[in-house]
Every structure is written in structure tokens, then in C-alpha cells.
Amino acid sequence: MQFNRKILPAEERLLDFLVKKSSILFPTNWKDKLLVRPMHDGKMGSLVLFPYGIIKSERLFGKQISECQFKDKDGIYVVASLNIDKEGDLFELDIWKVDFSPLIDIPDCLFLK
């Protein structure tokens, strides 16, 4: 069973990048008390997001608001998508490594673009 936790620094940088890339304006304190729960995705890195530390179990997917692609350390492409729920709150950081192998690293160079 996966437990809720604080977001890790590399995950936070990716999430911040995707939030800024989106056309949605979030409150300036959107990261305050943010909790995440790793998804059962073969360790590709996907996260369920719980803004303001509020754990809601009955949330529904709304839409994708931004996306980026990068190569993992092993040269395999990764697609990262940021989704919100039907209420407009952050919902998922969906990470898909195209060969379904575990994510090795989120590169810092991604955020320099």
C-alpha cells in the first residue's frame, strides 16, 4: 500500500514547470501542504496530487492542462502530463515512460527551457 507523502524536490520542479506551462492560473500558495501518493504504474513516477493536504477519495478526472517530454538517463523517452479534476484542482502528475520501465531520473536540464 502506498502512503501520502510530501513531494520530492525533483517532482516539485517538474510539477512547477508543468503548472507554469499550463494556461490555468493557480493561487500562489498552490504548493502549500501539497501531498502526493505514488500511483501503481510500474514505478514510472506518476503521482496522485492532494492540494492543501486535503485527501479526497471521490475525485474525477477533469482534463489535461499541460505536458512535456524528456529522455530518461537510459535514453528512453518519458511523457509527463499534468491533470486537474472536475473541480479544477490539481489531480495527477501522470508520467509514462514509453517502454514502461521504471523512471530513473527527472533531468534538471528540462527546467532550463
Distances (CA, A) of 61 to 84, 110, 112, 113: 6, 26, 30, 28
Q: How far apart are CA 20 and CA 23, in angstroms?
A: 8
Query: Which pLDDT score, from 0 to 100, does residue 20 have?
Result: 94
Q: Give me 70's grid cell.
A: 524528456
Higher pLDDT, 3 or 109: 3
CA dihedral 21, 19, 79, 33 (to 10 degrees): 170
Mean pLDDT, rounded, for 49-75:
92
Give pLDDT, residue 113.
53
* pLDDT of 2 over the 80 cut: no
- At 3 the pLDDT is 83
Q: Which domain holds residue 73?
A: 5-112
Structural domain tally of the chain?
1
Q: What percent of the chain has pLDDT over 70?
A: 95
